[in-house]
């Protein structure tokens, strides 16, 4: 046999023996579920009352990461959804808060506001939103690029920022809820020219009005809610129109305890908001044909009522437990539809959260823990007084938001002041406040010790073009919030520890106690699909979760 013939046979045999790369055998659909304000320990706290086909199904059939954390400081809804989707942190993707101070504009900006687009489905400005402030791509964007835009990507949430930031720049649609007097799902012209008929038909049926006229009662007998405190406690917010925070709630006669909300927004503060999200997501699956084509489609579902209920009632309330027991049934309903119409074996699912939450500080204080409700009270005035005494210039502090202080750079330039000296003086004043544990000059962040976990969280949250001049680190358990209910936003474990549950196509059954990060989700999905990673990605593939890791 000549060398030429041998080489030809070798090539032919090699080509015949080649198989398609494993990564190219992709699922028909990726479903990402984000439960707003869900702490990891809600899984263990409410475990005995969950059914077998909701949260527990991930434990039976999927992969569980028990030590999953946010790896940056600003644990808020906007940054959370952006970090899940992009595989990177606010320092890279730019969403440093739900709102932040814009030095050029001289006021706060909202993470998804966009007056260059028009809303569809709502007659108000609630539809004028887009992902234009998100600097990087998402994993859904990369799947769209990979398929030459033949696949579909859709996001659904009560919150605009959740639906928008979880899907990215190139999504076919993101839908969110406009409450008040409308009670409709809306989108914007960033995605389409007109609202689809199926979505318009849903709005026309006024389901929100029906829920807002219903009664929220406890799902199980009240005495069985042993994972919670008493139904009536001083740590819970009270609906406007109610005398106590106790079941049942006749919603037709009540209003949310948030002063800015009214009318049909009350649904957000009940489990019925999650029911609407499931209903609308099922309609999107059916009418858009998700999971029925040759390319991998993506559906991002964000359940937001958990956050609204947590903000109003707090962590130990019967209301928050009831909301999670009802959400468990919503997951069961979603999974049953997916199983029947697509098959779980053809779908990759993950469930996580956008942040956790702290116990109500008054509850902590009453049980002998250090905590407080007004961590920033007096700081801006105190620093302004000190800087005026130093320079003779008034109001040098422009704003405090997201635990960051912004000094007025225009005034500093006008009076030829030293930013370094002003920051140093402001730091001295801030450290005198008993609610503050430490303060960092933004310019000094690269010099912080990388061995300190909180230092790394602040670094990863620091976007130089959008950040303040100082970072204020409060003591654990101290928040800026009212005397009832709770919030989030810090780098402490009660805000960073989130669930990560995965199952379906390409996911190995198992668990890990090795620490994983919220930024690991996107690269893991991209690795499973065989696509490029989001362009700002800093996370890692969770190899233990993938079937390929066993081969």
The DSSP annotation for 384-414 comes to: HHHHHHHHS-S--EEEEETTEEEE-HHHHHH
The whole-chain average pLDDT of the chain stands at: 94
* pLDDT, tens digit (0-9, with 9 covering 90-100), for 136-181: 999 999 999 999 999 999 999 999 999 999 999 999 999 999 998 8
pLDDT of residue 290: 98
All domains of the chain in start order, with CATH: 23-364+492-550 (3.40.720.10), 379-474 (3.30.1360.150)
| Residue ranges of E strands in 213-296 | 215-216, 249-250
Please tell me the distance from the alpha carbon of residue 504 to that of residue 368, in angstroms, as a whole number.
45
Q: Residue 21: pLDDT above 80?
A: no
Look at residue 4 in the predicted model and tell me its pLDDT: 54
> Is the pLDDT score of 451 beyond 80?
no
Q: Region 330-339: what's the mean pLDDT?
A: 98
Asked whether the predicted pLDDT for residue 518 surpasses 70, the reply is yes
Provide the pLDDT for residue 256.
Answer: 74
What's the mean pLDDT in 361-371? 97
The neighbour count for residue 215, using CB atoms within 10 Å, is 11
Torsion (CA) 82, 88, 93, 98 in degrees, nearest 10: 40
Q: What is the pLDDT of residue 400?
A: 97
Q: How far apart are CA 405 and CA 426, in angstroms?
A: 9
Instruction: Work out whether strand 397-401 and strand 99-102 pair parallel, antiparallel, or are unpaired.
Output: unpaired
Q: What is the mean pLDDT of residues 7-17?
A: 44
* Average pLDDT value for residue range 178-201: 96
**pLDDT tens digits for range 395-445:** 999 999 999 999 999 999 999 999 999 999 999 999 999 999 999 999 999
Contact yes or no for 256/272 (Cβ under 8 A): no
Is residue 267 within 8 A of residue 171, CB to CB? The reply is no
Best CA proximity match to 528, nearest among 174, 23, 151: 23
What DSSP state is assigned to residue 21? Answer: -
Nearest to 187 by CA among 127, 227, 113: 127
SS3 of 312-375: HHCCCCHHHHHHHHHHHHHHHHHHHHHHHHCCHHHEEEEEEECCCCCCCHHHHHHCCCCCECEC
- Residue with more model confidence, 368 or 3: 368
Q: The tokens of 329 are what?
A: 């049934």
- Spatial CA neighbour of 163 closest among 260, 303, 330: 303
Q: What is the pLDDT of residue 10?
A: 43
User: Could you tell me the pTM of the whole model?
Assistant: 0.94
Q: What is the model's pLDDT at position 181?
A: 87
pLDDT at 16 over 50: no
Q: Looking at beta carbons, which pairs linking 50-54 to residues 24 or more positions away fall under 8 Å?
A: 50/325, 50/328, 51/328, 51/329, 51/332, 53/331, 53/332, 53/335, 53/336, 54/327, 54/328, 54/329, 54/330, 54/331, 54/332, 54/335
What confidence category does residue 261 fall into, taking pLDDT thresholds of 50, 70 and 90? low
Give me the helix-helix angle, 139-146 and 77-86, nearest 10°.
Answer: 40
pLDDT at 97: 98
Cβ–Cβ < 8 Å for 285, 339: no
> How do residues 197-221 score in pLDDT, each as one tens digit?
999 999 999 999 999 999 999 999 9
Given the structure tokens 């999504």, which residue do they identify? 171
Q: Would you call 226 a catalytic residue per the annotation? A: no
Average pLDDT over residues 105-126: 95
Please tell me the predicted confidence (pLDDT) of residue 2. 53
What is the average pLDDT across 112-125? 94
d(CA 491, CA 502): 24
φ and ψ of 119, to 5 deg? -80, 150
Out of 43-52, 443-452, 506-515, pick the least confident.
443-452
Among the residue ranges 44-58, 69-83, 379-393, 536-550, the one predicted with the least confidence is: 536-550
Tell me the pLDDT band of 448, cut-offs 50, 70 and 90: confident
CA-based nearest residue to 428, from 439, 418, 413: 439
C-alpha gyration radius of the chain? 25
What is the average pLDDT across 491-498? 98
**What are the tokens at 217?**
């009662």
Tokens 């750079």 locate to 409
Q: Which of 44, 75, 77, 124 is catalytic?
A: 77
Q: Are 489 and 495 in contact (CB under 8 A)?
A: yes
At 14 the pLDDT is 47
Residue 1 has pLDDT above 70, yes or no: no
Continuous segment of H or E residues that includes residue 534: none
């Amino acid at each position: 046999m000549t060398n030429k013939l041998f080489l030809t046979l070798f090539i032919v045999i090699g080509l015949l023996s080649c198989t398609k790369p494993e990564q190219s055998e992709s699922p028909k659909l990726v479903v990402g579920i984000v439960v707003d304000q869900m702490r990891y320990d809600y899984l263990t706290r409410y475990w005995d009352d969950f059914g077998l086909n909701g949260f527990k199904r991930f434990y039976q059939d999927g992969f569980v990461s028990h030590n999953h954390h946010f790896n940056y400081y600003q644990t808020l809804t906007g940054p959370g959804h952006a970090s899940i989707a992009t595989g990177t942190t606010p320092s890279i993707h730019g969403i440093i808060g739900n709102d932040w101070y814009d030095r050029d504009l001289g006021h706060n900006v909202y993470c998804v506001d966009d007056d260059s687009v028009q809303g569809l489905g709502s007659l108000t400005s609630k539809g004028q939103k887009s992902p234009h402030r998100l600097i990087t791509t998402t994993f859904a964007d990369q799947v769209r690029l990979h398929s030459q835009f033949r696949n579909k990507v859709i996001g659904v949430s009560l919150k605009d920022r959740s639906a928008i930031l979880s899907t990215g720049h190139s999504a076919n649609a993101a839908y969110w809820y406009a409450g008040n007097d409308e009670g409709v799902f809306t989108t914007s012209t960033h995605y389409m020219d007109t609202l689809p008929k199926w979505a318009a038909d849903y709005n026309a049926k006024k389901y929100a009005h029906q829920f807002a006229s219903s009664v929220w009662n406890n799902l199980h007998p009240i005495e069985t809610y042993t994972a919670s405190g008493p139904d009536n406690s001083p740590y819970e917010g009270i609906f406007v129109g109610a005398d106590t925070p106790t079941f049942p709630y006749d919603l037709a006669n009540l209003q949310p305890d948030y002063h800015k909300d009214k009318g049909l927004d009350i649904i957000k503060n009940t489990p019925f908001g999650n029911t609407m999200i499931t209903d609308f997501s099922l309609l999107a699956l059916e009418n858009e044909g998700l999971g029925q084509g040759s390319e991998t489609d993506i559906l991002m579902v964000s359940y937001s009522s958990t956050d609204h209920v947590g903000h109003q009632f707090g962590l130990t309330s019967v209301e928050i437990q009831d909301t999670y027991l009802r959400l468990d049934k919503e997951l069961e309903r979603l999974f049953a539809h997916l199983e029947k119409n697509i098959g779980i074996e053809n779908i990759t699912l993950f469930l996580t959260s956008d942040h956790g939450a702290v116990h109500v500080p008054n509850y902590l204080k009453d049980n002998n823990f250090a905590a407080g409700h007004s961590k920033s009270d007096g700081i801006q005035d105190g620093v302004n007084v000190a800087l005026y005494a130093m320079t003779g210039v008034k109001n040098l502090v422009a704003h405090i938001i997201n635990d960051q202080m912004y000094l007025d750079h225009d005034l500093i330039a006008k009076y030829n002041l030293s930013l370094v000296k002003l920051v140093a003086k402001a730091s001295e004043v801030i450290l005198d406040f008993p609610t503050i544990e430490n303060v960092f000059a933004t310019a000094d962040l690269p010099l912080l010790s990388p061995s300190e976990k909180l230092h790394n969280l602040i670094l990863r949250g620091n976007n130089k073009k959008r950040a303040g001049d100082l970072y204020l680190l409060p003591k654990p358990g101290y928040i800026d919030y009212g005397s009832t209910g709770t919030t989030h936003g810090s780098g402490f474990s009660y805000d960073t520890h989130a669930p990560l549950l995965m199952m379906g196509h390409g996911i190995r059954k198992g668990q890990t106690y090795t620490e994983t990060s919220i930024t690991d989700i996107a690269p893991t999905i991209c690795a499973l699909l065989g696509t490029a990673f989001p362009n700002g990605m800093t996370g890692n593939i969770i190899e233990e979760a993938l079937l390929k890791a066993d081969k």
